[in-house]
Structure 1
């Protein structure tokens, strides 16, 4: 999936259908000039329904579909004929989609399961025909109910990626390169910060045709939790990952300090992120000789509170070991 095709934020207008009005018809036929009421009910207005679809990974299909309108209910007719229900409009969204009210920014609901359906705009109820209002004292009611009006909303759809492993690191730490090596994804790779502006997803192929999903999240900077840099735009994507893979380059001045800064940004954004499984990968380790690696290992054994391993995406070092470790963590 190319970066331009990854759409994770869409605003749209949804409108349900009006309910049909009930009929106030009085029965008439040959030799019956003054029959009783026989007006039918109006049909229900169509709903706008959001539906979870596990085959979708992005909101791209909704990027240019800004208005969704359901059908209106049909009006009641004579002989107690009911009006037809309005056509429901189904909007398929990827799993992990958060639906917000655009005006208040409040979360309305989330779609997290395949086939899950939630009504975002309720169709108007159809009006009752005059058949319902007959009585011993009012045998020919000449009135019926109008249909209930439609419901309109401005909503915002936000996608939080549902991935097994999320890559966390500072800009230019080598996250996109690692994703391109471990999966068939083709993220943009360059030697400058913020090459990745939108998350990239890739399927990691493991032994015996087993797979898991890895997400490359745009680089975190200090202050991201307060919205600095790309801020909340990408931090929300880390919320749904099962495992956080911290990627820190071997040439970093202080590996423990970088890890603490990254962890603190996640904590300030959402403290629940600290409950996730974490592992550190020391990238670009092909720059280290055996002596330097031994020194660094001794230092990290005393400082890092989580498991770590040395990898090099370019030299293909430690990649299979990383896959094995991640697979064990996912299945434990």
Structure 2
């Protein structure tokens, strides 16, 4: 079902949704950017039509709505252990096709990557519903077409801003009823990005000999291990587990999981002082190959969705896309020489 809505009509639709849902989407925070006098565009509560940002990519991904930066797993007091209850309102998230595809990657990691699903992720995820924000063209640095993530499924509705009105494709309730109430029937077909200025060619295989290639030494010199690339990535899911003892009562405390990154110093430290991938170039190799090779071998799809955030936030201008293209060229040369 398709509908055409005026800004006032879409505003009334959001007001009705807000009575039953939490609503999150791309919003702009004035003066909160990384540099003085710049704005931060990221995911936050949407309270009106004007809150939704259509003309910029968010610095951070929507994953923290259902995979919190910090989450309590259990509380302990003496010999008693209790699990925190979750009182979570049904939640709507407005997001782009690449980010919707990223959610499917997180679902595989948390729900299908072992004998049992991650119960903490699963109980939040069941309350999350998605609205696709259509991209008519990508942002600088995007390469979603190369990764096959320019189109998406799994959303209740798709929305497109066109001139002075909104076009809504309603695929399920409550969107069908809301479209009839606040809009006019219209023919609405989804619009997908068909071409990005940036093209990335993912190698079909990666020879183990490339693990020691000088390519990774370049990154060892440049990477400062800040972790921005992974913390802004919509598909990264690494976390550390911390036991916190309360100061006012040493018998009580809680166990938390907190976002972490395979790129940050100390993440792989082990008992006895052993370090896995202490070299920063080795860490980048691990990240890149996991995104475009290891994950695909297990689940049949690339982990990277081509959103381009990692390159946008890197203070050393390390290009994930260039790295993947270089790997592909090396494999093509190896194939011709074989």
**TM-score bracket for this pair, using the shorter chain length:** under 0.3
- The structure whose RCO (Cα within 8 Å, separation 6+) is larger is 2
Flag the structure with higher helix content: 2
The structure with the largest alpha-carbon Rg is 1
Give TM-score, length-normalised by structure 1.
Answer: 0.24
Give TM-score, length-normalised by structure 2.
Answer: 0.24
